[in-house]
Amino acid sequence: MKIPSITFKAPEPELKVIKSVTVYISEKHSEMIIAPISKEPKDSYHYEQKDCEIIDLTSSTEIIGEAIKRNFNKFDIKEKKEGMGKKSDWPALKVSKEKSGRGFEEKYRRISIRGITDRNSTLKIETVMNLPIGIELTSTISAHCEPSELGNRILKIYRSEITERK
């Protein structure tokens, strides 16, 4: 009796990713720019997606939290054809009210929000490039929290950010 050969193909490993989103806050312009992030699958670098969401800084904590959760879930893995690009190509800069990269970095404070593990059940919120002091603030919160709790935490971190006082 002849037994047909069976080819066995190992299952593809499930790609596990840590999602992230970047929030830019400007008191001068009274706005928040929420930039969803994508990951380049081949080179493993992260970049901002083209469609950023802008909300008023005076919005309720619930609206802020909902917008952040919505954009956090837009995280995607896709190839970026044009490479890293220049600062002037950043989607957040393009939708901001600033004309130059330098003006953008002076008027907007950046907060990074990412999952701690590939389950993305706990979020790590941290300030980024808090110059000239160089002290970064970090907080964690459940990804399953109420949107108002997340919005409140973002505003608390923003307001307590250590900056040079003149």
Give me the domains of the chain, ranges plus CATH numbers.
20-160 (3.40.1590.10)
CA distance 48 to 66: 19
> Which residues are within 8 A (CB) of 34 and not within 5 positions of it... i.e. 6 or more apart?
21, 22, 23, 24, 52, 53, 54, 55, 67, 68, 71
Tens of pLDDT along 52-109?
Answer: 999 999 999 999 999 999 999 999 988 876 655 677 788 999 999 998 999 998 899 9
Where residue 163 falls among pLDDT bands split at 50, 70, 90?
low
CA distance 108 to 4: 66
CA distance 90 to 166: 30
At residue 79, the pLDDT reads 84
Q: Which among 38, 49, 64 has a CA at the least distance from the CA of 154?
A: 64
Residue with structure tokens 């790609």?
Answer: 15
CA distance 123 to 116: 6
Tens of pLDDT along 113-144?
Answer: 999 999 999 999 999 876 666 778 899 999 99
- Which range of 39-43, 132-136, 155-159, 161-165 scores highest in mean pLDDT? It is 155-159
Q: Residue 19: is its pLDDT beyond 70?
A: yes
Q: Residue 165: is its pLDDT beyond 60?
A: no
